[in-house]
Homo-oligomer: A and B are copies of this chain.
Amino acid sequence: MSAITTRELVEIDERRLLRRLDDLAQRGALPQGGIYRPLYSPQWTSAMELVATWMKDAGLLVRRDPVGNMWGRIEGSRGGRVIATGSHIDTVRGGGALDGALGVVAGIEAVSSLWQRFGRSTRILECVAICEEEGSRFNTNFWGARAIADRLEPGEADRVRDADGVSLGDAMRGVGLDPAAAATAVRRDLDVFVELHVEQGPILEDHGPRLGVVTTIAGTAHLEITVRGQPDHAGAMAMDRRRDAFLGASAMALGIAEAAVRMGHPAVATVGTIVVEPSQVNVVPGLAKFTVDTRHPDPARRGELITQIGDLSKKIASERNLGVEIKTLRDRPPVNLSPRVGDVLRRAAVTAGIEPREMTSGAGHDAQVLTAAANAGMLFVPSIGGRSHCPEEATAAEDVVLGTRVLATALRELAYQT
């Protein structure tokens, strides 16, 4: 229909966008606040059904792929490789209303608006709600994006289990999916994947501007550190004879945080989980096991941080007469996103009068996995207080609208070529 003009910021239905974000936030809302939509749970199913309804209302061709990613499609008049946008539908436990959800809802809004205002695209245009990114239920994440990018491991669905012992495969069967077909979710016809996301950190809020284009996603290492001491009676064993595994773990956690602080921004290191054994009020912990999540966009610096964490843990263990084992659960190198897609996003932002900030993402995102299947790019909008993965996660409504309009504008440049 209308000829392509990238100097024009695409209009969207702002009220519909914000209302849908609110509606989606009801799916998996916890009584104590926050949201939890674990993969293949009833809350997840309910959210996916809502998303499918919105896609159908927009006139898109909707299909659920073999791992449960929900796709909505406009057949482009000239075919070719696909321009896709979206994000994930799952959340962490007690998460917020925007992480993942914004990219899903904004993607549908952007594609709907383009279809409504400019008709059929020349390129095939798809929006997607990716089934899983957070790794909250199963100790495997990017399940959806990895399926698309042909990065599933053989037998993974049967091997991985949730805290209740349910296998990923059985969880799939529970929502009518066949784990044997998971590998067929692969997409070899993608050209571009664009993801709008909240920053989840304080940089845009503290330093501006209101938009960021991600160039690199920091590498994430997850370590599991097991400290072995000696369980003893809490009343009878003298303090100076103890080998308290939890005190060792405490000293390590403080040292690990201090190492990241000393290295300086954007180095981070987080002890997010810990269990002790035997976990009785009147027994000195004989074992403590905790995880460390550590990230840095510079691979050399990240390696340095991991080395420091190992060294200080061993030193503390030795001082306290404790055993220590360090296991690498995951070690993902930093990922560079597509400069071409970054340029398109930058141009779209400039159309809104904003020169976007070039940013590193400390958080991992579907886009990093989809670099294996497409030219992937990401657009960030500010997070209020830098907060995320918590009930208080929020972005100003005008920034949500701005980000969605810029996303739509970028998709127009990508999919409505003449």
Q: Are B283 and A389 in contact (CB under 8 A)?
A: yes
> Which of B233, B246, B363 lies in contact with A236, CB distance below 8 A?
B363
Which residues of chain B have C-beta atoms less than 8 A from A281's C-beta? Answer: 135, 222, 272-273, 291, 293, 329
Task: State whether A246 touches B234 (Cβ < 8 A).
Answer: no
CA distance A240 to B218 in the complex (A): 18
In the bound complex, what is the Cα–Cα distance between A197 and B270 (angstroms)?
A: 44
Instruction: Identify 17 new A-B residue pairs, CB closer than 8 A, beyond the known A200-B235, A237-B362, A284-B389.
Output: A136-B280, A201-B233, A222-B281, A222-B282, A232-B387, A233-B363, A233-B389, A234-B272, A235-B295, A237-B388, A240-B261, A244-B270, A254-B254, A272-B285, A274-B274, A281-B329, A282-B293
A250 contacts partner chain B, Cβ-Cβ < 8 Å: yes
Contact with B along A278-302 (1 / 0, CB 8 A): 1111111110000101010000000
- CB pair A253–B260 under 8 Å, yes or no, is no
Oligomer copy total: 2
Contacting pair A390 B280 (CB below 8 A): no
> Which of A220, A236, A286, A386: most chain B Cβ within 10 A?
A236
**A202 located at the interface, meaning its Cβ lies under 8 Å from any Cβ of chain B in the complex:** yes
Task: Report the minimal beta-carbon distance from A383 to chain B, rounded to whole angstroms.
Answer: 8
Q: Which of A238-274 contact B (CB under 8 A)?
A: 238-241, 244, 246-247, 249-251, 253-254, 257, 260-261, 265-274
Q: Determine if A199 is an interface residue (Cβ-Cβ < 8 Å).
A: yes
Q: List chain B residues, Cβ under 8 A from A293.
A: 234-235, 281-282
Sample (9) of A-B pairs whose CB atoms are under 8 Å apart: A94-B277, A94-B286, A220-B235, A236-B386, A237-B388, A238-B265, A238-B386, A239-B261, A247-B253
Q: Using A233-B201, A234-B293, A247-B257 as known contacts, say yes or no to A268 and B241 having CB atoms under 8 A apart.
A: no
Alpha-carbon separation in the docked complex, A232 to B231 (Å): 33
Which chain A residues numbered 317 to 351 have a C-beta less than 8 Å away from chain B? 329
Beta-carbon contacts under 8 Å, A344-385 to B: 361-364, 383
Q: What residues of chain B lie closer than 8 Å to A271, measured between beta carbons? A: 246-247, 285
Distance of A283 from chain B, by nearest CB (Å): 5
A49 to B225, CA, bound (A): 42
Contact A272 B282 (CB under 8 A): yes
Q: Residue A250 contacts which of B202, B240, B254 (CB distance < 8 angstroms)? A: B254
- Taken together as a complex, chains A and B put the C-alpha atoms of A235 and B232 apart, in Å, by 37
Specify which of B230, B237, B266, B273 is in contact with A200 (CB 8 Å cutoff). Answer: B237
Chain B residue numbers with a CB within 8 Å of A283 are: 92, 270, 272, 389-390
Return the chain B residue nearest A231 by Cβ. Answer: B390
A237/B276 contact (C-beta < 8 A), A231-B389, A251-B250 known: no
Q: Are A236 and B270 in contact (CB under 8 A)?
A: no
Min distance, Cβ A366 to any Cβ of chain B, angstroms: 14
Within 8 Å by CB of A278, from B92, B230, B247, lies: B92
A297 to chain B, nearest CB (A): 10
Given that A254-B251, A281-B293 are known contacts, is A236 also in contact with B135, CB under 8 Å in the complex?
no
